[in-house]
Amino acid sequence: MLLPGPDHINSLLGILIRFRREPVAITCNIQQMYYNFLVVPEHRDYLRFLWMNDGGEVKEFKMNVHLFGATSSPGVATFGLRRLANDYKSLSPLASKFLQNEFYVDDGVTSVATAEDAKGLITALREMCSKGNIGLHKFLSNNKEVLATVPISERGEFTKAIDLLTETLPSERTLGMKWCLETDTFHFGIPELQNKPSTKRGALSTIAQIYDPMGLISPLVLKGKQILQKVVASEQLWDQLMCSDDKQK
């Protein structure tokens, strides 16, 4: 009975490219994205579920908010976020633009020209989201001055315990990419090949684990795909060991 609605989710590739445009980068996350948006009472029957208590009694409940896993949740939440950005655009056009264009579901990433711009954007963004009772957390930046203005409880997990004055910024996951905050670069971790069998199944598994939505290392990944293509063409079985030449490659 639930429909996904129109696809208003921003392009992942576009967001990542714009993220690399300016020198000062910012990322954040919306706390419990779907739970922030109420289901109107007349639609709650579509989100009924059964729950068994400790005594074995089964009761029926209805969700009052949208939930993770429902087909309709991403479309509704994205619409709600954009509505919030449009309703309070006068507070900060820049923050409104960030909410509308630089979020991929619940993850927001952007870049600005200076640390002062970044600090102003974070302040405006938090104020705008508070109008809709939406909480932001897991703030990250490649600029320590910007990160220092964010309460420790709202920073990314691996930056909470470090001393910004003396310690090096860590690496964090950003939209599936490994982002090193200190050097402001994307890193790729290639799975340890020795832990995979030298078979068609092992080759496919290794290649599939390399996440590169921008194609930054596609010339390297292509070599692995060529090996897999050759093995598939030879009609080897999925768990049949490769010849020594293919294994070495």
- Rounded CA-CA distance 214/201 in Å is 25
Give the per-residue pLDDT at 62.
96
- pLDDT per residue as tens digits for the range 144-203: 999 999 999 999 999 998 999 899 999 999 999 999 999 999 999 876 666 788 899 988
Predicted pLDDT of residue 248: 84
pLDDT tens column, 54-67: 889 999 999 999 99
pLDDT at 193: 64
Predicted local confidence at residue 191, as pLDDT: 66
> 113 with 119: CB under 8 angstroms?
no
Domains and CATH numbers, the chain: 12-38+66-187 (3.30.70), 193-248 (no CATH)
Using CA atoms, how far apart are residues 147 and 238, in angstroms rounded to an integer? 49
pLDDT > 90 in the chain, percent: 81
Closest-CA residue to 211 (of 16, 2, 5): 16
Q: What is the pTM of this model?
A: 0.86
Sign of the dihedral through C-alpha 204, 208, 209, 211: positive
Give the mean model confidence (pLDDT) for residues 79-85. Answer: 95
Mean pLDDT score of the chain: 93
Q: Summarize pLDDT for 235-246 with one digit per residue, the tens.
A: 889 999 998 888
Residue 82 DSSP one-character state: H
- Give me the pLDDT at residue 249, please: 83
Alpha carbon distance 228, 86 (integer Å): 49
